[in-house]
């Protein structure tokens, strides 16, 4: 056993013996509080508890005024994101045992305005998402009696990874470009543009790329890659953006060769 493993095992044993772990939770009620502050709570330690379990315990048993979002508890709804010890994570997938001996610091996702406590305001993302038209666009629809639009496994593979996005906003909290440039469309919006652009049923690339290929779109990204490092669904938004940059460059060259053609 390595020294690190021994230290961790000792920390887990100590927490198990103490029976509690300390959470430092950011609290803030705009309009009432001058600024955010941290409130400390001791919560029961259970090796199988995630941070969301501890927050739910606080809400149910200690302080019903604590505000945070959650729903599915299984990494699907994307609503329970928070900064835990400065890293954006889904609190339903972050085990207390991985933060021992504590204290565990829980804050709202970085780079967003705060509605209350751990609840962030998502308006900026929602507005930007609508600009890239995240739906299948058809120039003409085939008659219903011709059946559904079929795809080969290879065609599905071309966009499936990007379609796994759950809009959790961890990538925005990790992105240094979004932190400094509020006009940047951001990782998930651009990955979702690729999701539809690469769908064989879609014919909306030109409309979408009029927004995604601008300076505030893919060309704002400096390829730090933190978005992909924190993404809980393996979407790889950094990869999607680099792919779009390549397509944008090829489109630019192609526009000289076929000035009236599609990009
Ligand atoms: S790309 Fe990943 S981290 Fe970003 S919103 Fe989608 S699922 Fe979350």
Tell me: the pLDDT tens digits for 144-184? 899 999 999 999 999 999 999 999 999 999 999 999 999 99
- 9: tokens are 């095992």
Average pLDDT on 48-75 reads: 97
Q: Residue 259 has what pLDDT?
A: 63
All structural domains of the chain, each given as residue ranges with its CATH number in brackets, are: 3-120 (3.10.20.30), 123-257 (1.10.1060.10)
| Separation between Cα atoms, residue 115 and residue 2, nearest integer Å | 44
Closest CA to 233 of 123, 34, 89: 89
Q: Which of 76, 125, 163, 187 to mutate to test the pocket of ligand 1 (most atoms within 8 A of CB)?
A: 187
| Separation between Cα atoms, residue 130 and residue 120, nearest integer Å | 19
Q: In the chain, what percentage of residues exceed pLDDT 90?
A: 84
Is the whole-model pTM more than 0.85? yes
Name the band, by pLDDT with cuts 50, 70 and 90, for residue 10. low
Q: Is the CB of 169 under 6 A from ligand 1?
A: yes
Helix, strand, or coil (residue 107): strand
| Separation between Cα atoms, residue 149 and residue 200, nearest integer Å | 9
pLDDT in tens, 179-218: 999 999 999 999 999 999 999 999 999 999 999 999 999 9
- 198: tokens are 């690469």
CB distance 175 to 111 below 8 Å: yes
Respond yes or no on whether the N-terminal peptide bond of residue 129 is cis (omega within 30° of 0): no
Residue 66: count other Cβ atoms within 10 Å of its Cβ.
18
Closest CA to 52 of 69, 39, 76, 37: 69
Residue 187 alpha carbon to ligand 1 centre in Å: 8
Q: Is the CB of 191 under 6 A from ligand 1?
A: yes
Average pLDDT, whole number, for the chain?
A: 93
What is the DSSP pairing of strand 81-84 with strand 20-27?
A: unpaired
Respond yes or no on whether the N-terminal peptide bond of residue 213 is cis (omega within 30° of 0): no
Q: Residue 237 has what pLDDT?
A: 98
């Amino acid at each position: 056993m390595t020294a690190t493993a021994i230290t961790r095992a000792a920390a887990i044993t100590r927490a198990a013996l103490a029976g509690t772990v300390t959470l430092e939770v950011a609290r803030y009620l705009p309009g009432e509080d001058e600024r955010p502050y941290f409130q400390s709570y001791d919560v029961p330690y259970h090796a199988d508890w995630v941070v969301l379990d501890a927050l739910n315990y606080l809400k149910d048993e200690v302080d019903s005024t604590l505000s945070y979002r959650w729903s599915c508890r299984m990494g699907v709804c994307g609503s329970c994101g928070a900064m835990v010890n400065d890293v954006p994570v889904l609190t339903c997938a972050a085990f207390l045992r991985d933060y021992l001996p504590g204290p565990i610091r829980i804050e709202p996702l970085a780079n967003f305005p705060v509605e209350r406590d751990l609840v962030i305001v998502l308006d900026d993302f929602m507005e930007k998402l609508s600009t890239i038209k995240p739906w299948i666009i058809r120039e003409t629809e085939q008659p219903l009696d011709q059946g559904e639009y079929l795809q080969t496994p290879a065609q599905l593979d071309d966009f499936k990874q990007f379609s796994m996005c759950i809009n959790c906003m961890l990538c925005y909290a990790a992105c240094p470009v979004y932190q400094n440039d509020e006009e940047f469309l951001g990782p998930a919006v651009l990955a979702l543009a690729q999701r539809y652009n690469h769908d064989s049923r879609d014919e909306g690339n030109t409309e979408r790329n009029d927004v995604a290929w601008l300076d505030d779109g893919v060309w704002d990204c400096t390829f730090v890659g933190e978005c992909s490092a924190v993404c809980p669904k393996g979407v790889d938004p950094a990869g999607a953006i680099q792919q779009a940059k390549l397509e944008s460059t090829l489109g630019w060259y192609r526009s000289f060769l076929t000035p009236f053609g599609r990009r």
